[in-house]
Chain A
Amino acid sequence: MIELDRSLFADPPARDDRFEIKQVWSEMHNMWDDEGKMLVEFMHRQMNEEVNGLEIAARNLTDFPDAPWELRLAIARQCWDESRHVNAFRRCFETRGGRVGEYPILNFEFRMITAIPTLIGRLAVQNRSFEAAGIQAIREALEHADRYDPDVAALLDAQLADEIQHVRYGNRWVEELIARDPRNAIDVVRGVSQANRAFPMIAGDAAIHLNLDDQIKREVGLIDPIPAQT
Chain B
Amino acid sequence: MNVKQRADALGTFRFIEVYLMETAAYWTPITPEMEVKVMFGRHIWDFAQHADWLGKRTFELRQPEHYTRRPDDAYVRLLEQMKQAETVSERLTLLYDVVVPGLVRRYGRYLETTDRLLDGPSVLVIERIIPELRRQMGEAQNLRKELAVKTADTSDFRRAETAIDSVVGA
The reply to whether A62 and B38 contact each other, CB–CB distance below 8 Å, is no
Bound together, the chains give a CA A69 to CA B56 distance in angstroms of 12
Bound together, the chains give a CA A100 to CA B55 distance in angstroms of 40
Q: How large is the interface on A (under 10, 10 to 19, 20 to 34, 35 or more residues)?
A: 20 to 34
* Closest CB pairs A-B (n = 8): A83-B41, A76-B48, A80-B45, A58-B28, A58-B25, A61-B25, A13-B29, A55-B29
Bound together, the chains give a CA A61 to CA B27 distance in angstroms of 11
B97 at the interface (CB under 8 A from A): no
Bound together, the chains give a CA A156 to CA B26 distance in angstroms of 29
Using known A-B contacts A15-B34, A51-B34, A86-B34, determine if residue A79 contacts B29 with beta carbons closer than 8 Å: no
A72 at the interface (CB under 8 A from B): yes
The reply to whether A16 and B34 contact each other, CB–CB distance below 8 Å, is yes
The reply to whether A80 and B34 contact each other, CB–CB distance below 8 Å, is no
B21, B28, B48: which contacts A54 (Cβ < 8 A)? B28
Nearest neighbor of B41 in chain A, beta-carbon distance: A83
Residues of B within 8 A of A13 (CB): 29-30
Q: Count B interface residues, CB 8 Å.
A: 26
Nearest neighbor of A13 in chain B, beta-carbon distance: B29
Nearest neighbor of A83 in chain B, beta-carbon distance: B41
Residues of B within 8 A of A17 (CB): 32
List A79-106 residues whose CB lies under 8 Å from chain B.
Answer: 79-80, 82-84, 86-87, 100
Chain B interface (Cβ < 8 Å from any Cβ of A): 21-22, 24-26, 28-34, 37-42, 44-45, 47-49, 52, 55, 66
Residues of A within 8 A of B38 (CB): 51, 54, 83, 86-87
Using known A-B contacts A54-B37, A61-B21, A87-B38, determine if residue A14 contacts B45 with beta carbons closer than 8 Å: no
A110 at the interface (CB under 8 A from B): yes
The reply to whether A110 and B29 contact each other, CB–CB distance below 8 Å, is yes
Give the most central of B21, B24, B34, B52: most A CB within 10 Å.
B34
The reply to whether A54 and B41 contact each other, CB–CB distance below 8 Å, is yes
B33, B34, B44, B52: which contacts A79 (Cβ < 8 A)? B44
List A60-81 residues whose CB lies under 8 Å from chain B.
Answer: 61-62, 65, 69, 72-73, 76-77, 79-80
